[in-house]
């Protein structure tokens, strides 16, 4: 996978692939969008580990725009996916509630994440972006609860940008320190999973919703 992604890094296809994966994983959380973002960043930055002096500095300068492009691509796709899920849930909240009721896992997740959002836990949207399936539940719950776009969109944007920047940074620094290898990718992915585990802990912590500041405004009528 590292070799295939590396061959796409300097082409527009890498942005299309990442954008599609990140957009769709709000509906299919099993998609390895985070791993893909990290792998692309690692492949783009990895060659700098073998270059020294002025050539290294020049290479870093040429890689940074790639990193920025990856961040913007992943963050934009994340927000677009969130809003699509939000709108679908807004229009079909009854059907969504029945679908969630058939899944014990989704029901439990909705109780922890969805209820917190309903109580004004805006920052929880950012934290939940790192938790497995957290993005899906928060986006769908916000739509089903008919939260205003002006309440949800800014937090979705902040969550997408934070997640994208963290994922790309992991790949970039891993590639800088260890080169474009499976070891650097593996270490970076483990760091992403660690952030996910931390997010799950924060979300499940008693009083998480009460501790979070209000997302602002009242629910739409």
Res. 82 pLDDT band, cuts 50 70 90: very high
Helices (H), the chain: 2-8, 13-24, 33-45, 53-91, 93-101, 104-109, 115-118, 122-128, 134-144, 149-178, 182-204, 208-211
Please report whether residue 220 resides in a domain: no
Please report whether residue 217 resides in a domain: no
Please report whether residue 64 resides in a domain: yes
What pLDDT is recorded for position 174? 83
Q: Which has more pLDDT, 69 or 105?
A: 69
Give the length of the chain. Answer: 221
> In which domain, by residue range, is 151 found?
2-211
Please report whether residue 168 resides in a domain: yes
Q: Domain total for the chain?
A: 1
**pTM beyond 0.85:** no
- What is the percentage of the chain residues whose pLDDT exceeds 90? 18
DSSP state of 145: T
Res. 176 pLDDT band, cuts 50 70 90: confident
Please report whether residue 123 resides in a domain: yes
Residue range 84-93, pLDDT digits in tens: 999 988 887 6
Residue range 8-17, pLDDT digits in tens: 555 677 888 8
């Amino acid at each position: 996978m590292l070799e295939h992604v590396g061959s796409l890094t300097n082409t527009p296809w890498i942005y299309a692939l990442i954008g599609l994966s990140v957009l769709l994983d709000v509906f299919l959380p099993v998609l390895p969008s985070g791993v893909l973002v990290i792998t692309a960043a690692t492949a783009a930055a990895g060659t700098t580990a073998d270059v020294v002096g002025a050539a290294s500095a020049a290479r870093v300068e040429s890689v940074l725009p790639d990193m920025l492009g990856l961040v913007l691509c992943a963050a934009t796709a994340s927000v677009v996916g969130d809003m699509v899920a939000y709108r679908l849930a807004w229009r079909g909240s009854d059907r969504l509630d029945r679908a969630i009721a058939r899944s014990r896992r989704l029901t439990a997740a909705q109780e922890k994440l969805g209820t917190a959002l309903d109580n004004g836990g805006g920052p929880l949207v950012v934290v939940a972006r790192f938790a497995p399936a957290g993005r899906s539940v928060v986006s769908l719950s916000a739509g089903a609860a008919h939260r205003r776009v002006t309440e949800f969109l800014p937090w979705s944007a902040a969550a997408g940008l934070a997640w994208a920047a963290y994922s790309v940074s992991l790949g970039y620094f891993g590639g800088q320190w260890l080169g474009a290898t499976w070891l650097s990718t593996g270490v970076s992915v483990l760091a992403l999973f660690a952030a996910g585990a931390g997010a799950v802990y924060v979300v499940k912590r008693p009083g998480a919703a009460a501790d979070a500041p209000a997302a602002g405004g009242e629910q739409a009528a």
